[in-house]
Structure 1
Amino acid sequence: MARKPAKANRRHPLATVVLIAIGLAFTGGGYALFTSTATAQTDTASSTSQSSVDEGKKLFAANCATCHGMSLEGSTAGPALLGVGAASVDFQVGTGRMPLAMQGPQAMEKPPQFTEEQTQALADYVASLSPGPAIPTDDQLTANGNATNGGELFRINCAMCHNVAGAGGALTEGKFAPSLTGVDSKYIYEAMLTGPQNMPVFNDHNITPEDKRDIITYLKYIQNNDSTGGYDLGNLGPVAEGLFIWIFGIGAVVALTVWLTAKSN
């Protein structure tokens, strides 16, 4: 019986093996390239972060450890910093409240002693030992939220100390709630997040990040727009308004009465 001739288009038995090998070579090469690039980026970020932590450790040892302890355990001169996170360090150091200039009812705001890079390094170091609330991102600080909702939240949670217009106010034992006019959005957010000094902590379960942004939007709105009620008298509330009425209002009535009496005589 005659044998059938092989088809002209029949593939070689090793063709499939060659194709698989080529596919594996391309796949493996691409994966290796991607992995090496990602690893290099991770190593660079890790190196940068570690260098920041190392710099923060030096700054902390020289400026903060005397009161707070090298391991954040605190002392009789300063509280422990375990769990305060980067946000608290950024707020306290960035506003100049720390290092403390002198003992008093509360830490006073003053020109910061450290640069932004040094402040970040201190925050990185503290967060590396004991994680806590992180520094807010730019998206969380954009004052494009709902000012109406922010105003309502501010009046409910903040106005009893900071005044409805954020002008600040006196507290007990020589303490006070500072004015919020001109304060950077980052520090307003961090203050809500960490509760510095006499302020309660408003974590993300109490006031969500979106609500915090609304509060910042409200504060920036009243700061950048004129009062619709006329002369604001410093936004100091009923005390300033009452004093104004006593001096000028009742004073005018008394002066008018004296003038009328003198004229009749």
Structure 2
Amino acid sequence: MNISSEELILKAKNFTKENIKPIAKELDESNRCPKELFDPMRKLGFFRAQYPLEYGGYDMDYKSAFYILKEIAKGSAGISLLYVVHWMATDVLLKYGTESQKKKYLKDLVEGKKIAAYSISEATAGSDAAGIKTVAEKVENGWKINGTKYFVTNGGIADLYFVMCKTSPNKGAKGISLFIVDKETYGLDVTYYAEKMGFRSSATTNLVLKDCIVSEDNLLGKEDKGFEIVLDGLVGGRLGMSAIGIGIGEVALE
């Protein structure tokens, strides 16, 4: 499909006006993530903008993607946040994933057929991400993960969770790894749908992992090198949040 960034941004603007703004108040009042909009947004191509053609993307620059976020945020900031976090996970998979991981997951993420969550925070580790307590332990058939994640954006709607774990607990930030955990993994449980002050159309939950077994192939990047990968992914996330802020500011002025 050939489409210019200008055309895609215009589609986002029109979609927001026709499909998001009419239900924005209801979403905010009911603290609801509108799953019924996912398929139309996939078909319009909003997930794909900045990713390579070989993985189903449109090969646009990131600026175009952030303009899409800005337009969607004018209707509902929480729906824009869905993209920010999804793209953080997609970005690190594209940059650090093995060819087999990319073949298995990347095209579905780029096309929006699967949604990703980026799971870092815990009740006692927010800004101090290195203070997490979730542990991944090597076992015969891969890794066993135990812990509880807090304030997980896209929790409950995600198909894949990118989970930060301690793999060498005594090494601090230098003992952290990142794992891809499928929502169907035994022992993974989504709990507590958060009541928030803002971004209420964004699904935010806890994530409990109890003896979750993932294969060696689900380790993203090198063992104990996950902290740098996570921080790298946050760069795009922070820029995305800036785009959302600009959208909110513009619609307030309008």
**Which bracket does the TM-score occupy, shorter chain normalised?**
under 0.3
Between structure 1 and structure 2, the one with the greater Rg is 1
Q: Which has the higher contact order (CA 8 A, sep 6+)?
A: 2
Q: By percentage of residues, which structure has more strand?
A: 2
**Normalized against structure 1, the TM-score is what?**
0.25
So what's the TM-score if we normalise by structure 2?
Answer: 0.25
Q: Whose helix proportion is higher, 1 or 2?
A: 1
